[in-house]
């Protein structure tokens, strides 16, 4: 708002000008002081930063995350085109990119500051255990499509990189306190210090306490989330060319759910997560380029109440080297070593393991050359990753990317990649009761998915065509993709077993194999626009389909169809950020997700939900925000849990009042 | 049904005439800042000897478009301003001002290393630019354009900035002569 007569005059001067080029003339005559007082229509530099990137990448900034009101990473991801986010329960999520949505979406790699949070146990991410301090997230980078040549195996459909803020950016104290409409309080505290020599330290702790969803009948789903996380980050002087970072954290999270164990009935199972990690990274410049070395150790444990438990220990070492630009070439190479030990225990027959402990050693190496074919116009990127482990065959994952910029504001790219997804410990060694089915005229029998140690990797051939344009007031992006998968995991009839879990009937065994093949194809559309200084709009829209090839094996085809039908064929999110005044913010978000065809009865209908957030800033130090998730109180369910079957959980309107003080 | 309630609301929001005049876009103003910086810097004589003009070079994707090229033929320190788009940092000989575009973020360290010690003023709006050794970093604060200056880097580039420029900087880091 113009606050001074002089500003009003300036505004009038600018308003009276016919075109933008003309406005420059007027601006030219202003002094530096006056220039510094002019308000501009600022746009995010995200698209610009990505203008030389031949990949479908979306970056969520800290401001994007704050204004979305997201309290967890999956909530923030709803703003990203191509990312399918379905909330199963209070803390349970199914998040995927380009199909194969699942509670453990096996083809999506997720990393926090370069540390993988993808569990080798279930080939997926326990989102409920990822109770991060959202204020300390600097950005979330989402790469759709294979990122394997740079990020390694399991980055088949995409990579999500969560990057936390440097300690120097969080000097001082912060306290956040919130309470929801059901009286659940949460607290987070953070303290940042500058130490001697420019080193900065941050320590933080938070508690999580989220209300449960409800069942179809309207009673509690008993899946309330409680937990805590505490951690630190120590950064060397940001001004030094040679930088290091040490960070670490420890967490606990209790995430109960009522499992439907078929013959054994409903079972209230608290999933108890705990974990800790320490990570150290050094980045330095030499005349031979830019290098970084990262090492971490990570411990993650999940206990499934009285059913089972699993512990994963990881040690990882990663080195990357970016060579100075040499003519038209820019080379990057790196090597990585990872050791993981997995140990499991089962206490009931619904989950069993044919091997109690395993050690995985992985060696990987990658190289990438970015070649300028025509300066400022045509760029070719060739890359490949080689990965070998002490089980299975080595994987070679190449990528070719071509980028054409007809102008400095337009980017057109195409890429082809091959990527692989290694079978998880669970897939190779776990037996699971996956359901009960009647086979008339025979009585209902338990379906048991049996382990198969000889499973090979799934692989994909991906093709992508994208266009990105930077506008004066925003940016637009359109991406078309087609991914052809082979050796997909599926289950065929594997015989009968006596005695069964249900007395007097044999169990029906399902044998896992690599006989599936499928295609996903679709389009992703993203746009950002500053309509005025006070109104910014964001749009993400995705259409997609996923089809398996028919194999002729009825059980396999049926299972494959179920996997495919867990994906919506379109979804949309529209976000409006409104600055009501210097102190007041209003954020609206509309999200629409198409129906899921093949979910168990009663199925998942298409739904449209509106979220709102009102923020009031008392001063630079204190702010209060009221967030309303599901403003119109639509009762809906987004997904039914796979892997661990449970009844549908329904969500209602939720209110959350949050106060934040920095001092 | 709720959707039908909300849609008109959004349309109203979109269609509502802006209460204020359209402000200049960010890069329109940043282009003017670039020109102004060129007016407040003293280059060593030999740096200006190569041509009659003050050469402003943009490394990477040009975010300015017509807003910067529109400044050509304007004067700075009695010389004409010209805009160039060199393909790489090695090709910036003859440039008096180098603007490093956000597209060059991951190459920033290499670019600054290449330009180190040469009589060019480096300007960018990449986060952490002055900390990384750049001269003037443009920052957007509350929809206004401000700038930070790294005095140590400016003097290692053999340049002098006017007192007025230093006074207007949001933040000064580094020591002169460092």
Write the pLDDT tens digit of every residue in A298-356. Answer: 999 999 888 889 999 999 999 999 888 888 898 999 999 999 999 998 888 778 888 88
pLDDT bracket for residue B109 (50, 70, 90): confident
> What is the C-alpha to C-alpha distance for residues A78 and A84, in angstroms, rounded to an integer?
7
Out of B29, B66, B71, closest to residue A35 by CB: B29
**Nearest C-alpha in B relative to A588:** B10
> Region A80-104: what's the mean pLDDT?
93
> What is the C-alpha to C-alpha distance for residues A368 and A376, in angstroms, rounded to an integer?
19
The model's pLDDT over A227-248, given as tens digits with 9 standing for 90+, comes to: 999 999 999 987 677 889 999 9
Q: Are strands A570-579 and A584-593 parallel, antiparallel or unpaired?
A: antiparallel
What's the pLDDT at B13? 54
Q: Is B162 on the interface with A (CB under 8 A)?
A: no
Whether B23 and A27 lie within 8 Å, measured CB to CB: no
CB atoms within 10 A of CB A453: 12
pLDDT bracket for residue B14 (50, 70, 90): low
| pTM listed for this prediction | 0.88
**CA-based nearest residue to A546, from A586, A594, A506, A513:** A594
Out of A33, A42, A50, closest to residue B143 by CB: A42
Q: Residue B138 in contact with residue B123, Cβ under 8 Å? A: yes
Longest dimension (CA), chain B: 72
User: What is the length of chain B?
Assistant: 178
CB-hemisphere CA count at 13 Å for B134?
27
Classify residue A332 as left (phi > 0), alpha (psi -120 to 50) or beta.
beta
pLDDT bracket for residue A261 (50, 70, 90): confident
Whether B29 and A11 lie within 8 Å, measured CB to CB: no
> Region B102-128: what's the mean pLDDT?
89
**CA-based nearest residue to A251, from A315, A208, A200, A214:** A208
pLDDT at A264 over 60: yes
- Across chain B, mean pLDDT equals 83
Helix, strand, coil content of chain A in percent (nearest 5): 10, 60, 30
> What is the C-alpha to C-alpha distance for residues A253 and A557, in angstroms, rounded to an integer?
37
Whether B24 and A15 lie within 8 Å, measured CB to CB: no
CB-hemisphere CA count at 13 Å for A258?
15
For A416, counting Cβ atoms within 10 Å of its Cβ (0-12 exposed, 13-18 middle, 19+ buried), the class is middle
> What is the C-alpha to C-alpha distance for residues A83 and A645, in angstroms, rounded to an integer?
23
Interface with B, mutate which of A40, A323, A324, A630 (most B CBs under 10 A): A40
What's the pLDDT at A230? 97
pLDDT bracket for residue A20 (50, 70, 90): very low
What's the pLDDT at A16? 38
**Which B residues in the span 10-49 are in contact with A, Cβ-Cβ below 8 Å?**
10, 13-14, 18, 20-29, 31-33, 35-36, 40
pLDDT at A3 over 50: no
- Across chain A, mean pLDDT equals 88
CB atoms within 10 A of CB B38: 23
> Region A283-296: what's the mean pLDDT?
89
**CA-based nearest residue to A337, from A314, A361, A313:** A361
**CA-based nearest residue to A265, from A505, A602, A502:** A502
pLDDT at A436 over 50: yes
Out of B26, B66, B168, closest to residue A40 by CB: B26
Classified as helix, coil or strand, A448 is strand
Of A192-196, A575-579, B47-51, B134-138, the one with minimum mean pLDDT is B47-51
Whether A2 and B20 lie within 8 Å, measured CB to CB: yes
DSSP letter, residue A218? S
Q: Would you state the structure tokens that stand for residue A80, as one six-digit string?
A: 């990203």
**Nearest C-alpha in B relative to A33:** B168
CB atoms within 10 A of CB B48: 17
> Region A102-122: what's the mean pLDDT?
89
Out of B85, B103, B109, closest to residue A52 by CB: B103
> What is the C-alpha to C-alpha distance for residues A556 and A550, in angstroms, rounded to an integer?
9
To which H or E segment does residue B14 belong?
A: helix B2-15
> What is the C-alpha to C-alpha distance for residues A538 and A359, in angstroms, rounded to an integer?
45
Enumerate the β-bridge partners of residue A210: A225
Which of the given ranges, A155-164, A312-321, B83-92, has the highest pLDDT on average?
Answer: A312-321
What's the pLDDT at A176? 97
Classified as helix, coil or strand, A179 is strand
> Region A163-174: what's the mean pLDDT?
93
Enumerate the β-bridge partners of residue A332: A322, A368
Classified as helix, coil or strand, A24 is helix
Q: Are strands B136-141 and A351-353 parallel, antiparallel or unpaired?
A: unpaired
Q: Residue A36 in contact with residue A28, Cβ under 8 Å? A: no
Torsions phi, psi of A114, nearest 5?
85, -5
pLDDT at A175 over 50: yes
End-to-end C-alpha distance for chain A, whole angstroms: 27
pLDDT bracket for residue B21 (50, 70, 90): low
Whether B32 and A48 lie within 8 Å, measured CB to CB: no
State the DSSP string of B50-103: T-SSEEEEEESS-S-THHHHTTTT-EETTEEEEEE--SSGGG-TT-SEEEE-GG
Whether A239 and B63 lie within 8 Å, measured CB to CB: no
Whether A408 and B125 lie within 8 Å, measured CB to CB: no
Out of B33, B107, B173, closest to residue A35 by CB: B33
What's the pLDDT at A9? 43
Whether A610 and B2 lie within 8 Å, measured CB to CB: yes
Out of B23, B88, B105, closest to residue A533 by CB: B23
Positive or negative: CA dihedral A508, A511, A512, A516: negative
Q: Would you state the structure tokens that stand for residue A199, as one six-digit string?
A: 């080193």
pLDDT at A601 over 80: no
Positive or negative: CA dihedral A489, A491, A495, A496: positive
> What is the C-alpha to C-alpha distance for residues A395 and A387, in angstroms, rounded to an integer?
5
Q: Is B172 on the interface with A (CB under 8 A)?
A: no
What's the pLDDT at A44? 67
> Region B90-114: what's the mean pLDDT?
88
**Nearest C-alpha in B relative to A12:** B21
Apex CA A206: angle with CA A577 and CA A72, to 5°?
40
Q: Residue A91 in contact with residue A128, Cβ under 8 Å? A: yes
Q: Which chain B positions have a beta carbon within 8 Å of A52's beta carbon?
A: 60-61, 103
In Å, how far is A27's CA from the nearest CA of chain B? 7
For A212, counting Cβ atoms within 10 Å of its Cβ (0-12 exposed, 13-18 middle, 19+ buried), the class is buried
Inter-chain contacts counted by CB atoms under 8 A, chains A and B: 167
Which residue spans within A305-394 are E strands per DSSP? Answer: 308-322, 329-346, 351-353, 357-374, 378-389
Whether ipTM exceeds 0.90: no
pLDDT bracket for residue B103 (50, 70, 90): confident
Q: Residue A77 in contact with residue A95, Cβ under 8 Å? A: yes
In Å, how far is B59's CA from the nearest CA of chain A? 10
What's the pLDDT at B72? 83
Of A479-483, A600-604, B135-139, the one with minimum mean pLDDT is A600-604
Q: Would you state the structure tokens that stand for residue A529, as one six-digit string?
A: 């626009």
The model's pLDDT over A22-65, given as tens digits with 9 standing for 90+, comes to: 455 677 778 888 888 888 777 666 666 777 788 898 989 999 99
**CA-based nearest residue to A588, from A614, A612, A608, A616:** A612
**CA-based nearest residue to A300, from A355, A338, A341, A270:** A341
What's the pLDDT at A201? 96
User: What is the length of chain A?
Assistant: 663
CB atoms within 10 A of CB A326: 10
> What is the C-alpha to C-alpha distance for residues A135 and A231, in angstroms, rounded to an integer?
14
């Amino acid at each position: 708002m113009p606050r001074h007569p002089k500003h009003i005059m300036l505004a009038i001067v600018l308003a009276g000008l016919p075109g933008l080029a003309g406005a420059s003339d007027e601006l030219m005559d202003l002094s530096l002081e006056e220039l510094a007082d002019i308000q501009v229509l600022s746009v995010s530099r995200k698209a610009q930063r990505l203008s030389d990137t031949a990949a479908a990448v979306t970056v969520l900034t800290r401001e994007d995350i704050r204004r979305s009101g997201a309290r967890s990473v999956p909530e923030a991801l709803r703003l990203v085109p191509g990312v399918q986010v379905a909330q199963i329960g209070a803390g349970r999520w199914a998040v995927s990119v380009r199909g194969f949505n699942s509670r453990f979406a096996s083809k999506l790699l997720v990393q926090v500051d370069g540390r993988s949070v993808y569990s080798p146990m279930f080939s997926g991410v326990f989102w409920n255990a990822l109770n991060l301090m959202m204020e300390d997230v600097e950005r979330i980078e989402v790469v759709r499509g294979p990122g394997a040549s740079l990020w390694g195996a399991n980055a088949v459909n995409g990579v999500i990189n969560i990057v936390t803020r440097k300690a120097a950016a969080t000097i001082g104290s912060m306290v956040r306190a919130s309470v929801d409409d059901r009286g659940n309080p949460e607290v987070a505290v953070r303290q940042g210090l500058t130490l001697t020599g420019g080193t900065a330290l941050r320590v933080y702790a938070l508690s999580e306490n989220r209300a449960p969803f409800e069942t179809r009948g309207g009673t509690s789903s008993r899946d309330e989330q409680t937990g805590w996380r505490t951690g630190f980050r120590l950064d060397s002087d940001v001004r030094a060319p040679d930088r290091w970072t040490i960070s670490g954290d420890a967490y606990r999270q209790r995430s109960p759910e009522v499992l439907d164990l078929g013959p054994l009935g409903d079972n209230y199972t608290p999933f108890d997560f705990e974990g800790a990690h320490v990570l150290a990274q050094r980045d330095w410049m030499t005349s031979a380029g830019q290098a970084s070395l990262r090492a971490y150790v990570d411990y993650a444990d999940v206990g499934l109440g009285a059913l089972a438990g699993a512990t994963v220990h990881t040690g990882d070492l990663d080195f990357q080297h970016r060579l100075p630009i040499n003519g038209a070439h820019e080379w990057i190479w790196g090597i990585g070593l990872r050791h993981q030990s997995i140990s499991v225990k089962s206490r009931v027959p619904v989950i069993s393991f044919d091997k109690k402990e395993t050690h995985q050693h992985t060696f990987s190496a990658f190289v990438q050359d970015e070649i300028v074919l025509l300066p400022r116009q045509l760029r070719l990127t060739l890359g490949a990753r080689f990965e070998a482990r002490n089980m299975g065959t080595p994987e070679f994952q190449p990528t070719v990317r071509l980028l054409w910029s007809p102008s400095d504001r337009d980017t057109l790219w195409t890429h082809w990649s091959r990527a692989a997804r290694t079978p998880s410990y669970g897939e190779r060694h776990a037996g699971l009761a996956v359901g009960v089915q009647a086979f008339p005229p025979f009585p209902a029998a338990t379906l048991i998915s049996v382990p198969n140690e000889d499973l090979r990797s799934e692989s994909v051939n991906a093709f992508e065509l994208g266009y990105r344009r930077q506008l004066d007031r925003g940016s637009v992006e359109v991406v078309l993709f087609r991914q052809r998968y082979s050796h997909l995991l599926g289950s065929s009839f594997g015989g009968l077993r006596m005695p069964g879990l249900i007395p007097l009937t044999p169990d029906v065994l399902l044998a896992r194999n690599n006989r599936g093949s499928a295609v996903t194809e679709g389009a992703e559309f993203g746009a950002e626009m500053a309509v005025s200084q006070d109104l910014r709009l964001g749009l993400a829209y995705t259409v997609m389909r996923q089809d398996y090839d028919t194999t002729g094996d009825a059980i396999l085809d049926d299972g494959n169809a179920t996997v495919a039908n867990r994906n919506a064929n379109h979804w949309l999110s529209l976000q409006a950020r409104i600055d009501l005044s210097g102190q007041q913010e209003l954020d609206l978000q509309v999200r629409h997700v198409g129906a899921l065809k093949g979910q168990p009865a009663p199925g998942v209908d298409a739904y449209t939900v509106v979220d709102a957030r009102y923020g009031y800033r008392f001063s630079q130090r204190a702010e209060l925000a009221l967030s309303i998730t599901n403003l119109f109180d639509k009762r809906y369910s987004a997904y039914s849990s796979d892997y661990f079957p449970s009844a549908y959980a329904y969500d209602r309107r939720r209110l959350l009042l949050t106060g934040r003080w920095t001092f | 049904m709720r959707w039908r309630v909300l849609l008109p609301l959004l349309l109203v929001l979109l269609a509502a005439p802006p209460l204020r005049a359209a402000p200049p876009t960010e890069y329109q103003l940043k282009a003017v800042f670039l020109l102004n910086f060129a007016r407040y810097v003293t280059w060593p004589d030999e740096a200006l000897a190569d041509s009659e003009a003050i050469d402003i070079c943009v490394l990477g994707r040009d975010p300015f478009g017509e807003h910067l090229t529109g400044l050509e033929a304007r004067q700075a320190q009695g010389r004409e301003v010209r805009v160039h788009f060199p393909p790489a940092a090695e090709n910036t000989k003859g440039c008096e001002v180098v603007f490093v575009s956000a597209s060059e973020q991951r190459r920033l360290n290499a670019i600054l290393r290449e330009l180190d010690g040469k009589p060019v003023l480096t300007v960018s709006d990449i986060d952490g630019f002055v900390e990384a050794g750049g001269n003037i970093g443009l920052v957007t604060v509350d929809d206004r354009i401000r700038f930070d200056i790294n005095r140590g880097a400016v003097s290692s580039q053999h340049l002098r900035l006017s007192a007025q420029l230093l006074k207007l900087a949001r933040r000064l880091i580094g020591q002169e002569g460092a």
